[in-house]
Structure 1
Amino acid sequence: MTAATGATVIATRGLTKTYGRVHAVDGIDLDVRPGDVYGFLGANGSGKTTTVRMLLGLVLPTRGEVHVLGQRMPRAGRRVLPRVGALIEGPAFYGHLSGRENLSLLDASGPGGVRRTRRSRVDTVLEQVGLAGVGRRPVRAYSLGMRQRLGLAGALLRRPELLVLDEPTNGLDPQGIAEMRALLLDLHRDGTTVFLSSHLLAEVEQMATRVGVLDRGRLVLQEQLSVLTAPTGATVVTTPQPERVTATLDGRVRAVDGQRVVVRGDDPAEVNARLVAAGVPVTGLALERPTLEEVVLAAAGTSTDRVEAP
Structure 2
Amino acid sequence: MIVTHALTKRFGATVAVDAVDLHVREGDRYGFLGPNGSGKTTLVRMLLGLVYATSGEIEVLGRPVPKRVAEVLPQVGALVEGPGAYGHLSGRRNLALFDAAGRGGGRRTRARRIGEALERVGLANVDQRPVKAYSLGMRQRLGLAGALLRRPRLLILDEPTNGLDPQGIKEIRELLIELNCDGTTVFLSSHLLGEIEQLCTRVGIVDRGRLVLEDDLAALRAATGRILLGTPDPAAAAAVLDGQLESRDGERLVIRHDDPAALNARLVGAGVRVRSIEAERRTLEQVVLEATGPGSDRFGEP
TM-score by shorter chain over 0.5: yes
1:166 maps to which residue? 158
1:125 aligned to 2:117? yes
CA distance in 1, matches of 2:197, 2:24: 17
Which shows bigger deviation, 16-25 or 27-36? 16-25
SS for the counterpart of 2:36 is: coil
| Aligned ranges 1:127-276 → 2 under 5 Å | 127-239=119-231, 242-257=234-249, 259-276=251-268
Q: 1:243–1:19: structure 2 CA closer, same or farther, 3 Å change rule? A: farther
Equivalent pair of 2:195/2:301 in contact (CA under 8 Å) = no
Partner letter of residue 56 of structure 2?
G
Partner letter of residue 132 of structure 2?
R
- The superposition leaves residues 180-216 of structure 1 with CA deviations (integer Å, 9 ceiling, x where unpaired) of 0111011001100000001111111111111000011
1:3 maps to which residue? none
SS for the counterpart of 2:294 is: helix
SS for the counterpart of 1:180 is: helix
2:54 to 62, 79, 90: 62
SS for the counterpart of 1:151 is: helix
1:103 to 80, 92, 95: 95
Equivalent pair of 2:83/2:139 in contact (CA under 8 Å) = yes
2:15 maps to which residue? 23
1:83 CA drift (Å)? 0.7
| Aligned ranges 1:42-61 → 2 under 5 Å | 42-61=34-53
Q: 1:23–1:260: structure 2 CA closer, same or farther, 3 Å change rule? A: farther
Which shows bigger deviation, 43-52 or 272-281? 272-281
- Give the number of equivalent residue pairs: 302
- The superposition leaves residues 84-103 of structure 1 with CA deviations (integer Å, 9 ceiling, x where unpaired) of 00000101211111100000
CA distance in 1, matches of 2:265, 2:67: 63
Which shows bigger deviation, 44-53 or 283-292? 283-292
CA distance in 2, matches of 1:20, 1:95: 34
Partner letter of residue 207 of structure 2?
D
Structure 1 residues without counterparts, runs of 5 or longer: 1-8
Q: TM-score, normalised by structure 1?
A: 0.92
CA distance in 1, matches of 2:238, 2:193: 33
Equivalent pair of 1:126/1:135 in contact (CA under 8 Å) = no
Which shows bigger deviation, 264-273 or 169-178? 264-273
1:233 CA drift (Å)? 3.0
CA distance in 2, matches of 1:257, 1:76: 59
Partner letter of residue 64 of structure 1?
G
1:290 to 282, 285, 289: 282
1:254 CA drift (Å)? 3.3
Q: 1:229–1:100: structure 2 CA closer, same or farther, 3 Å change rule? A: same
1:38 CA drift (Å)? 0.2
Equivalent pair of 1:215/1:303 in contact (CA under 8 Å) = no
RMSD: 1.6
SS for the counterpart of 1:309 is: coil
- The superposition leaves residues 12-42 of structure 1 with CA deviations (integer Å, 9 ceiling, x where unpaired) of 0000111222211110100000000000001
1:114 maps to which residue? 106
CA distance in 2, matches of 1:163, 1:101: 22
CA distance in 2, matches of 1:140, 1:25: 34
